Structure 1
Amino acid sequence: MPCLARWLVLLTLLSHSAAQENVGIGLDLSVGVEGVLPSLARPANASRIFHGIVFDAGSTGTRIHVYTFIQKDPAELPLLEKETFQSVKPGLSAYADTPETAGETVRQLLRVAKKAVPHVEWERTPVVLRATAGLRLLPPKKAQALLDEVEVAFEESPFFVPDNSVHIMNGTDEGILAWVTVNFLTGQLQAKTKKTVGTLDLGGASTQITFLPKFKKTIESAPPDHIARFDLLSTTYELYTHSYLGNGIKAARLTALGALGAEGLERKVFESSCLSRKFREDWSFGGLTYKISGIPDGSTGFTECYKEMLKVVKGVIHQPPELQDSNTFYAFSYYFDIAVEAGLIDERRGGMVKVQDYSIRAKEVCNKLSMYLATKPFLCMDITYITCLLKDGFGFKDETILKLTQKVNNVETSWALGAIFDYFQNIKIH
């Protein structure tokens, strides 16, 4: 289907409820897609504005993205005019035993959407929630109870609630939709070029890598579930993509400590050489609380810490051969946050770092643990894990440059924008 026709489908979907109510939009939905053009009660050259709302239910927080699109000319693709973004912590999974609280979290963020979307547009603005690894790690019944509370909150809202508006997203879709977001924002998709950029996303419970391979050997040597094809804007893409559940930065802490999936948590203390000998704390993740400490009489420092973190990635992460070459990658989420915490980049501007920059800084932090005990007790563990993940996991060279950013063109670099495209365009992922 031509690009214009696909976007006209988008406009048709957005006008669904308004057309049903005959509120003066003047859009004739009975004609074929190629003939559907918006006919508004406004000047012919006026811009057409529409909205979409995406909730990102992550393992460490819930975020709302309210997107405003503008269609200046029916003969052109719409533009993303702006994004309204807000987040709350903790994530929905923290309310596994009190799911009604999760519903209140969503209601709180829906108030943000009401302010961002004009009242007259509420009934035809779709709202969707996609949950990620935090809920994938929960027992199915507890995860479903949380989703049920979200659905109740959505149905109470004035927004358009499509079928299957609330569900847990699989890791492959998460990686692909983040790739779609970044390549849309950097202009690669509109240009229909093969010069795309790769994406690295590091969440609390999982991590994703996605890129368009340059070499056939990358596809041929990859495990079957690491290659995905999808159609977007009349183009078929064949991506290398995989999500590693349990390899997010918070889950990696627990795996390295031997705490992930452990029983009798109230009686056990999990120790690590990545922590100061004086450190002892109750730490919560995914609705569970763990007793964590340094090793009072044990060795500390980068070398010992690296050995612990290596166990988290060794034999788990596949190494695509072409990552030894000069692929361009955008890295975000905890790649960005930990780089800020470590002083590698400025939080407002982001920046570019080499893989070895994480390694150099990790050695400095881990060999002076007492300096960070009060303010950043996990920094050694986290930055060492990132170093290990990039080098021994994915196989990046020390000299590989990563672009670290929270936003591109003032829009969050998450999978959420890709998710609203998925809703509008029905991206077919194989």
Structure 2
Amino acid sequence: MLLSSHFPRRAGSNKGYAVIIDAGSSGSRLHVFQYIKEGSIPLLVHKGKDSLSLKTRPGLSSFASNPKAAGTSLDRLLEFAKENVPEKDRGTTPLYLMATAGLRLLDVGVQDAILESCRDVLRLGGFMFKDEWASVITGIDEGIYAWVAANYALGTLGGDPQETTGIVELGGASAQVTFVPEVVPPPAFRHELYLGGVTYTLYTYSFLQFGQEAAWEKLLEMITAGVLKTTLSEAEHEDVVVDPCTPRGYVFKQNSIISEVTNEQSVKEAIPSIRSAGNFTDCRRAALALLQRGRDNCLYKKCAIGSAFVPELRGKFFATENFYYTSEFFGLPSTTSLAEMELAGQHYCGEDWKTLQQKHQGMETEDLLKYCFSTAYIVALLHDTLGVDMRDDRVRFTNRVGEVPLDWALGALIVHLENDNFGEVPPVWLFGEESFRIFAILGCVVLLGFVVWMIMRFRRPHLKTIYDLEKGRYITTAARSHR
């Protein structure tokens, strides 16, 4: 007899695995999570810093001109997942691919083609996968997931909403702000989240194209097109445009970063020369002008970024992703203030490009170029736009609380475990799925044989033996049935 068990796969605990691919603008990062399901909020099992995470480049959006090739970029990630999920658990381990702002910027048709290429690969990955689990998530989803991850790490989920911590993310293509405000925000910026037995009324919004990479590229476009005028723009030659966000001494070349951020050939031809100036104050002013673009379309009493409403920031906040990477580059602690970030930026922007290269040998040129802009953009975004005081200690620049990563993928796992009920371990057949199929076939054969035997038995004529007096011997004859 076949037996099934609803007990956990590992004695004494209800453990499971989940795999999430964060398909971002600069690359795809795969996370392998192991958890113990106890109540509505799972307990994450940690195995050391970054041991279950792998990032590959380029991002899926780079396959816009060749969508069919996108799926192959996931091969190494799937190998990594198989290395970290036991073979016997893969069939019951859900696998999600969630694409963010990089793919959101593409046309829907291109998005669908890239995702379908990925689905072709993920279906054969050996994990539990459904086509709808490969999708482009909204910026609002991304912000909510990050908020959930932050408050899971702090242990505040399931408690007083006013005791939760907000989160400000600075990604590559977008920025997100999510927190519990004092006053209920307008419907377009409000989200009700039920988690851990508590309903949270959140302010959440995703500022597309205001991520660090997208903003830096847009700023360069505006400078080269002459849209932004800085105090340094009064160059000695009319055909020279000054870039205050690039360290002085850096020489722009043909097909360099500037030619990559614009497709307007007329603009390229109109700007014969760009001079890097490396001035923090001017760069900050230019970044603020970028953040305020579109404010004329504001429909609310006050708009902080573009035409989007942002209420007064309440309580404590984590500043993650590029906020953290910038502070880490300068060796600043998580408790650093914006005043300290400003000092680091002023010093860096004032350095000569060759000096910076010597100090930071081995770093990619593109990364080294952006730290002048990133410090100025952070101060312009958090202080000049969102109103965080320059010496405010409410903001922590970090990507981790203890061993828990402040990654929206973790928040996505927690939300999906509650909504999709993957915390319940499915029945495990004693003989395994393959054995079950074999036994089922044998059972059908035996049953069929029994039916045939019964039919033959009842259709066979009944015989009787009698003594024939004329022939003087016993004979066998068919018996008549009497009805």
Letter in 1 for 2:36: I
**2:19–2:95: 8 Å Cα contact kept in structure 1?**
yes
User: What does residue range 269-308 of structure 1 map to in structure 2 within 5 Å?
Assistant: 272-279=243-250, 280=252, 282=255, 295-296=274-275, 300-308=278-286
Say which one has the larger Rg: 2
Quickly say closer, same or farther: Cα 1:362–1:168, change in 2 above 3 A.
same
Shift in Å, 1:424? 2.2
1:407 aligns with 2:400: yes
1:60 aligns with 2:26: yes
**1:154–1:161: 8 Å Cα contact kept in structure 2?**
yes
Shift in Å, 1:283? 5.3
Quickly say closer, same or farther: Cα 1:137–1:356, change in 2 above 3 A.
same
Q: Which residue is 2:312 aligned to?
A: 322
Q: Which residue is 1:225 aligned to?
A: 188
> RMSD between aligned alpha carbons?
3.1
Which sits farther off after the overlay, 120-129 or 134-143?
A: 134-143
User: What does residue range 74-93 of structure 1 map to in structure 2 within 5 Å?
Assistant: 78-82=42-46, 84-93=52-61
Q: Give the Cα–Cα distance (whole angstroms) in 1 for the partners of residues 220 and 77 of structure 2.
A: 35
Q: Give the Cα–Cα distance (whole angstroms) in 2 for the partners of residues 141 and 400 of structure 1.
A: 45
Shift in Å, 1:190? 4.3
User: 2:389 is matched with which residue: 379, 384, 397?
Assistant: 397
**1:25–1:40: 8 Å Cα contact kept in structure 2?**
no
Shift in Å, 1:397? 1.1
Q: Which residue is 1:252 aligned to?
A: 215
Q: Give the Cα–Cα distance (whole angstroms) in 1 for the partners of residues 136 and 389 of structure 2.
A: 34
User: 2:144 is matched with which residue: 139, 156, 176?
Assistant: 176
Which sits farther off after the overlay, 124-133 or 403-412?
A: 403-412
Count residues in correspondence.
372
**1:228–1:240: 8 Å Cα contact kept in structure 2?**
yes
Unaligned runs of 5+ in 2: 226-239, 296-303, 361-367, 421-483
Shift in Å, 1:223? 4.7
Letter in 1 for 2:196: L
Letter in 2 for 1:233: G
User: What does residue range 24-423 of structure 1 map to in structure 2 within 5 Å?
Assistant: 26-27=5-6, 39-40=7-8, 46-71=12-37, 78-82=42-46, 84-192=52-160, 194-213=162-181, 215-216=182-183, 219=184, 222-258=185-221, 272-279=243-250, 280=252, 282=255, 295-296=274-275, 300-314=278-292, 315=295, 317=305, 318=308, 320-323=310-313, 327-345=315-333, 351-370=334-353, 371-372=355-356, 375=360, 376-401=368-393, 402-423=395-416
Q: Which runs of 4+ in 1 moved over 6 A?
A: 287-294
What is the percent sequence identity of the aligned residues? 31
Q: Give the Cα–Cα distance (whole angstroms) in 2 for the partners of residues 79 and 25 of structure 1.
A: 26
Shift in Å, 1:238? 0.5
Letter in 1 for 2:343: I
Q: Give the Cα–Cα distance (whole angstroms) in 1 for the partners of residues 257 and 106 of structure 2.
A: 15
Q: Give the Cα–Cα distance (whole angstroms) in 1 for the partners of residues 109 and 86 of structure 2.
A: 37
Q: Give the Cα–Cα distance (whole angstroms) in 2 for the partners of residues 367 and 228 of structure 1.
A: 43
Q: Give the Cα–Cα distance (whole angstroms) in 1 for the partners of residues 144 and 2 of structure 2.
A: 37
Letter in 1 for 2:387: G
Letter in 2 for 1:384: A
Post-superposition CA distance 1:343-389 (Å, at most 9, x none): 324xxxxx221122222222222222433366522211111111111
Letter in 2 for 1:50: G
Q: Give the Cα–Cα distance (whole angstroms) in 2 for the partners of residues 140 and 270 of structure 1.
A: 36
Shift in Å, 1:277? 4.3
Which sits farther off after the overlay, 133-142 or 187-196?
A: 187-196
**2:40–2:196: 8 Å Cα contact kept in structure 1?**
no
Q: Give the Cα–Cα distance (whole angstroms) in 1 for the partners of residues 169 and 158 of structure 2.
A: 23
**1:206–1:246: 8 Å Cα contact kept in structure 2?**
yes
**1:205–1:248: 8 Å Cα contact kept in structure 2?**
yes
Q: Which residue is 1:8 aligned to?
A: none
**1:202–1:333: 8 Å Cα contact kept in structure 2?**
yes
Which sits farther off after the overlay, 143-152 or 243-252?
A: 143-152
Quickly say closer, same or farther: Cα 1:41–1:23, change in 2 above 3 A.
farther
Query: TM-score normalized by structure 1?
Result: 0.78
Quickly say closer, same or farther: Cα 1:271–1:144, change in 2 above 3 A.
farther
**1:103–1:150: 8 Å Cα contact kept in structure 2?**
yes
Q: Give the Cα–Cα distance (whole angstroms) in 1 for the partners of residues 4 and 273 of structure 2.
A: 64
